[in-house]
Structure 1
Amino acid sequence: MNETSNKNIEDLNKNTTNSEQNSEVNSSESETQENPKDDIHVETSDNQADEVETASHKDALNEEEVLTEEEKLKKDLNAQKDKYVRLFAEFENYKRRTSKERMDLFKTAGQEVMQSLLPVLDDFDRALKEVRKSEDKDLIQGIELINNKLSETLKSKGLALMHVNAGDAFDADLHEAITQIPAPTEELKGKIVDVVEKGYTLGDKIIRFPKVVTGK
């Protein structure tokens, strides 16, 4: 009888122990099942925060890249503008220089032609003086016609006679004194006594100074 009671007590203790163990296991499993949810939630929040931070970082990088590209384009544009301005200025200088050179060439060539024709005009003047001594009116008119036509043609090209007469004041900037003689009168002292060769201008430039004789 006592053995049976003892055995029942032992079985009861075992059942109690097993129940407690099962309860602990179930509690642990329950906690384990609840804790992963909390861990997952925390991990998800951390991941979202990381994603937001990464996205913000990417946006900042993209914005920086856009600004860098914009600055680069501005620099390139300014460089092209500077290059264009320099090229335009150089081209304008080139046009002015070549235009001036061309005008100088035309003037020089024209001046040389005019200077070569001046002796011809001198010959016509001397011929007219001699022809006018004759009584052949037709000859005189013919020479005068040719002389006038030549003079007018050269005048239209810019050639002009410098009008100098005896008795005019001598100006070293305008006249070339080839000799000096005693003045025939007091009024001609230091003045032009005679004009040996006519002077001419081409435009605003003297291409041949009138050769004169002055009185002293």
Structure 2
Amino acid sequence: MSTTNDTDEMEDLTRQEEGSRGEAPKRDTEDQGQQDSEGELREALEKEKDKFLRLFAEFENYKKRTTRERLELFKTAGQELMTALLPVLDDFDRAIRELERAGEDELLKGVVLIHNKFRDTLRAKGLEPIEARVGDAFDADLHEAVTQVPAPKKSLKGKVIDVIEKGYKLGDRVIRHPKVVVGN
């Protein structure tokens, strides 16, 4: 009888092994399919995450750019008006010079007061004169050469000999270059 029991046990073990082998490929296939779908989901998630980060960075750049543009617009919003008022400022300067030459002291005081108030108001809005003096080195980026004349002295060669018209800047932007005569 022991042979029959041994044989039965062997058959049971063989069946269990075959059964477990038969089920193993099914589980492996299911596990493989699950891993493939997880991999696809991870890949899709990474793509979406990358797309989100790029969109976020693009939006941040847009915000910075529009803020810079808006600040620049505020700084130079009055540029057109300031440019239109510069000839009036020039006329005040000419009037003051003529009144000084004519000796009209009372009239000169009134014109100087109005001129100073007008100049200070424009300065408060960001208008600054560009200093150009006789003897300064000529700078093509800053000065506008109206003409060149023979230099009266060797030391004035390539330098400003006369300032024809003042220059002005609004904030950091030059809105009118000083017009000068350069020694040649």
The 1:119–1:41 alpha-carbon spacing in structure 2 relative to 1, beyond 3 Å, is same
Shift of residue 183 of structure 1?
Answer: 5.2
Which residue of structure 2 lines up, in the alignment, with residue 30 of structure 1?
A: none
SS, match of residue 105 in structure 2: coil
The 1:68–1:167 alpha-carbon spacing in structure 2 relative to 1, beyond 3 Å, is closer
- Whether 1:177 aligns to 2:138 is no
Bigger relative contact order, structure 1 or 2, given CA contacts below 8 A and separation 6+? 2
Which residue of structure 1 lines up, in the alignment, with residue 165 of structure 2?
A: 197
Which residue of structure 1 lines up, in the alignment, with residue 55 of structure 2?
A: 87
SS, match of residue 95 in structure 2: helix
- Whether 1:98 aligns to 2:62 is no
- Whether 1:120 aligns to 2:88 is yes
Q: Distance in 1 between matches of 2:46 and 2:99?
A: 77
Task: Supply the AA of the counterpart residue of 2:78.
Answer: G
Which residue of structure 2 lines up, in the alignment, with residue 109 of structure 1?
A: 77
Q: Distance in 2 between matches of 1:73 and 1:181?
A: 79
Task: Supply the AA of the counterpart residue of 1:198.
Answer: K
Instruction: Point out the structure with the larger helix share.
Output: 1
Structure number with greater Rg is 1
Shift of residue 198 of structure 1?
Answer: 0.7
- Higher mean displacement: 108-117 or 183-192: 183-192
Task: Supply the AA of the counterpart residue of 2:21.
Answer: E
SS, match of residue 175 in structure 2: strand
Question: Cα deviation per residue 1:47-95 (whole Å; 9 max; x = unaligned)?
Answer: 4334322332333233223322321221122111111122123223333
The 1:59–1:187 alpha-carbon spacing in structure 2 relative to 1, beyond 3 Å, is closer
Q: Distance in 1 between matches of 2:30 and 2:51?
A: 31
Which residue of structure 2 lines up, in the alignment, with residue 159 of structure 1?
A: 127
Q: Which of these residues, 75, 79, 87, is aligned with residue 43 of structure 2?
A: 75
Question: Cα deviation per residue 1:134-171 (whole Å; 9 max; x = unaligned)?
Answer: 131xx434332332222223223332112223343433
Task: Supply the AA of the counterpart residue of 1:59.
Answer: R
2:76–2:170 CA contact under 8 A, matched in 1: no
The 1:127–1:73 alpha-carbon spacing in structure 2 relative to 1, beyond 3 Å, is same
SS, match of residue 166 in structure 1: coil
Task: Supply the AA of the counterpart residue of 1:81.
Answer: K
Instruction: Among all aligned residue pairs of Structure 1 and Structure 2, give the percentage whose two residues are the same amino acid.
Output: 51
Q: Distance in 2 between matches of 1:206 and 1:40?
A: 105
Structure 1 residue ranges, 4+ long, deviating more than 6 angstroms after superposition: 37-43
Unaligned runs of 5+ in 2: none
Q: Distance in 1 between matches of 2:36 and 2:139?
A: 74
